[in-house]
Amino acid sequence: MQNISLKASTLIGSEIIKLSNEINQKIKEGNAIYNLTIGDFNPHIFSIPTVLESYIIEAYRNKQTNYPPADGVAELKVAVRNFVQTYENISFTDNEVMIAGGGRPLIYAIYQTIVDPGDKVVYPLPSWNNNHYCHLSDAQRIEVNTRAEDGFMPTAEELAPHLSDAVLLALCSPLNPTGTTFRKEELTKICDLVLAENKRREGKQKPLYVMFDQIYWVLRADSIAHENPISLRPEMKKYTIFVDGISKSLAATGVRVGWGLGPAEIISKMKAIVAHIGAWSPKAEQIATAQFLSNTIALTSYLDELKAKINRRFDAVYNGFEKLKAKGYPVQIIKPEGAIYLTAQFAIMGSINPEGKKIESTSDITQFLLNHAQLALVPFTAFGCENGTDWYRISVGTLREEDIPDLLQKLETSLSKLQLVNS
């Protein structure tokens, strides 16, 4: 007889956190490993803004330690509305905004608000955690494979056959795990598909909503424009729910301040769900974030510095992989566009490793990189892709600039010891 619920017994924990914990244990045991698995920042390399830190301390000293309003303190909601209006030119009313303890409670609340058991949810592969949120919501998963030549961003053509009768389309830009972004033309086509589908089903069935996770949107290359559904098609405001916050934009993953923006009827139910599970953001951090978002000089200065530090790492790793490719090594890397991630391919399936064993699976590639290059990366299997993928996410949030040359040299040395399948 089963002692726990079927949902709990069949729930899979975070593959990324599991892998990162295993690597951290190896490091504690004395192994020298470059752990580029977790989508987080080393606060000794990427600290939160000192001005924000002082605001947080001040809020605690002012005894701002009681319950916040369930949907967020008023001054932060105003600051978020002003921020979005200034930087994205989108207007929201007070009842179209809510605050939560980071992006995860917002995503969970979106699923719980929109999805009934058995409803179809469409999302691309690779993508972050949608499979788990579908499981928690008893949703029917509609997974759409994407292509490397498109930066693993879904196209309208790929999504179109799957939108009929779906209730939620989950999108992310810049994308976790790839750091790639939507182009204006393609996202416009996707919006037009959503609008056409909703016009077809108007008054007959539940609308098709878009969850647009843009938690990384300020961390993008200067040459890359951030596109969002509402700016491209204002009619999309009725169907789009944004997930955003300071977790990544201010290197503040542990501060836990996120915000959701969307149709009032959706946001009101999301507020109730977040309130019932107590997933609100701490009051002091909310007050401090409101002050910081309103301090344009401090905000701009910090973002410029943070992006410069990330981009230096992007450039060094990207150029290093390009040199390896030019030397004939079986690697490929996609030019970074945003977030804190690069996407790399290790096309070594079928090769013989230094122990004389054939590399036959994604796990074999992962272990080869770990054991011979001391390099810990997350394979796309952690983002829903099937075993056999040779694509990996590289997170630079914990990477020291001075370590990159040695990292690349160790990678080259390890690749040189392979008996390649075509050699």
**Ramachandran area for residue 244 (φ above 0: left; ψ -120 to 50: alpha; else beta):** beta
pLDDT of residue 23: 84
**What's the pLDDT tens digit per position in 12-22?**
888 788 887 88
pTM of the model: 0.95
Paired tokens of 59: 């809020």
**What's the pLDDT tens digit per position in 327-384?**
999 999 999 999 999 999 999 999 999 999 999 999 999 999 999 999 999 999 999 9
**What's the pLDDT tens digit per position in 277-308?**
999 999 999 999 999 999 999 999 999 999 99
Query: Parallel, antiparallel, or unpaired for β 209-213 and 258-261?
Result: unpaired
Domain boundary among 299, 322, 346: 299
Q: How far apart are CA 104 and CA 125, in angstroms?
A: 19
Tell me what the pLDDT averaged over the chain comes to.
Answer: 96
Q: How far apart are CA 410 and CA 368, in angstroms?
A: 12
pLDDT of residue 420: 86
Domain boundary among 267, 299, 331: 299
Q: Which domain holds residue 331?
A: 6-46+300-416
**What's the pLDDT tens digit per position in 158-210?**
999 999 999 999 999 999 999 999 999 999 999 999 999 999 998 889 999 99
Do 272 and 157 sit in the same domain of this protein? Answer: yes
Do 100 and 149 sit in the same domain of this protein? Answer: yes
Position 379 in a domain: yes
Do 190 and 79 sit in the same domain of this protein? Answer: yes
Q: How far apart are CA 138 and CA 365, in angstroms?
A: 33
Do 23 and 61 sit in the same domain of this protein? Answer: no
pLDDT of residue 423: 47
What is the number of H-type helices and E-type strands within the chain?
14, 13
Position 423 in a domain: no
pLDDT of residue 1: 59
Q: How far apart are CA 79 and CA 289, in angstroms?
A: 8
Do 293 and 306 sit in the same domain of this protein? Answer: no
User: Which residue from 402, 403, 310, 399 is spatially nearest to 44, judged by alpha carbons?
Assistant: 399
For residue 384, what is the DSSP state?
Answer: T
pLDDT of residue 336: 93
pLDDT of residue 2: 75
Position 139 in a domain: yes
Q: What is the CATH number of the domain that holds 352?
A: 3.90.1150.10
**What's the pLDDT tens digit per position in 75-124?**
999 999 999 999 999 999 999 999 999 999 999 999 999 999 999 999 99
Is the model's pLDDT at 413 over the cut of 60? yes
| Confidence band, pLDDT 50/70/90 cuts, at residue 214 | very high
Position 421 in a domain: no
Q: What is the CATH number of the domain that holds 66?
A: 3.40.640.10
Looking at the structure of the chain, the number of domains it has is 2
Do 146 and 244 sit in the same domain of this protein? Answer: yes
Do 353 and 248 sit in the same domain of this protein? Answer: no
Do 261 and 373 sit in the same domain of this protein? Answer: no
Residue type, 182: F
| Confidence band, pLDDT 50/70/90 cuts, at residue 30 | confident
Position 36 in a domain: yes
| Confidence band, pLDDT 50/70/90 cuts, at residue 421 | confident
Position 1 in a domain: no
Domain boundary among 269, 299, 329: 299
Residue 313 DSSP SS3: helix
Do 359 and 274 sit in the same domain of this protein? Answer: no
| Confidence band, pLDDT 50/70/90 cuts, at residue 255 | very high
Q: How far apart are CA 242 and CA 228, in angstroms?
A: 9
Do 294 and 306 sit in the same domain of this protein? Answer: no
Position 40 in a domain: yes
Is the model's pLDDT at 422 over the cut of 70? no
User: Which residue from 273, 334, 379, 272 is spatially nearest to 16, judged by alpha carbons?
Assistant: 379
Residue 402 DSSP SS3: helix
Position 120 in a domain: yes
The set of residues, in sequence order, having a beta carbon less than 8 Å from that of 213 and lying 6+ positions away, is 103, 107, 170, 171, 172, 173, 176, 242, 243
The HSE-up count of residue 256 (CA atoms within 13 Å, CB side) is 12
> Which of the residue ranges 62-71, 211-220, 282-291, 414-423 would you say has the lowest mean pLDDT?
414-423
Question: Do 152 and 124 meet the contact criterion of CB atoms below 8 Å apart?
Answer: yes
**What's the pLDDT tens digit per position in 61-85?**
999 999 999 999 999 999 999 999 9
Do 239 and 228 sit in the same domain of this protein? Answer: yes
Do 316 and 393 sit in the same domain of this protein? Answer: yes
pLDDT of residue 64: 98
